[in-house]
Amino acid sequence: MRLPLLALLAKEPAHGYELKQALEQTFGSAYPSPNIGQIYVTLGRLEKDGLVRSVDVEQSNRPNKKVYFLTADGREALENWVDEPTEGPRVRDEFFMKLVLAPLTGIADRMALINRQRRHYLSLMRDLTELAERTDPGDRVALLLIEGATLHLQADLDWLERCQEDLVT
């Protein structure tokens, strides 16, 4: 969560709760509603690393609140993040390990492993399909994220089919 928080702070200084709200507003249902404690922990670490600083702002009738802002180092970290190409997800090699190794030990046969994995992917796909149906069509960020997950899952299933063709005799 470090870099998204830096990005939000690059827009304007904010306190922890405002950052939580900004994340929710930007990503809608596409983002796991961030835990406020997690946000404060991350802000603390960013401050320790010199990427943000904070000032105490007095509030009437309430405890002071800490407003965070980006430092020059923070801005540089953010720019580096934006400039770098992003690693894509890799093949899920844990399943592949099972698929290749388990039959050698006689624990399971490959067809059974592939069938179980296919069922699992399909039930994830069903969750995504239902979620897309329940998501407000105006929430384009959430829908794009769901579509991305759907496409990855489809690729996993296609790959499973290739494993079936080549490894199950």
Partner 1 sequence: MTVLRTLNLVRIYQNGGVPVPAVRGVDFTVAAGEFVAIMGPSGSGKSTLVHMLGGLDVRTSGEIWLDGKRVDTLSESAWAVLRRRKIGFVFQFYNLVTNMTVADNVELPALLAGMSPREARERREYLLGELGLTERAYAAPAELSGGEQQRVALARALANGPQLLLADEPTGNLDSRNTRDVLKLLGEVHGQGQTIVVVTHDAKVASKADRVVTLADGMIVDDASMRRRRFTPGTAGDVVELRG
- Contacting residues toward partner 1, per CB under 8 A: 1-4, 27, 29-33, 111, 115, 118-119, 121-131, 135, 142, 145-150, 153-154, 157-158, 161-162, 164-165, 168
* Smaller CB separation from partner 1, 80 or 115: 115
Smallest distance from the beta carbon of 143 to partner 1, in angstroms? 9
C-beta separation of 57 from 36 below 8 A: no
Smallest distance from the beta carbon of 77 to partner 1, in angstroms? 13
Smallest distance from the beta carbon of 10 to partner 1, in angstroms? 15
Q: Please give the Cα distance from 154 to 76 (Å, whole number).
A: 37
Q: Is 82 left (phi over 0), alpha (psi -120 to 50) or beta?
A: alpha
Length of the chain: 169
Q: Please give the Cα distance from 79 to 73 (Å, whole number).
A: 10
Q: Look at residues 163, 9, 12, 146 and name the one whose alpha carbon lies nearest to residue 91.
A: 163
* Smaller CB separation from partner 1, 1 or 102: 1
* Smaller CB separation from partner 1, 57 or 111: 111
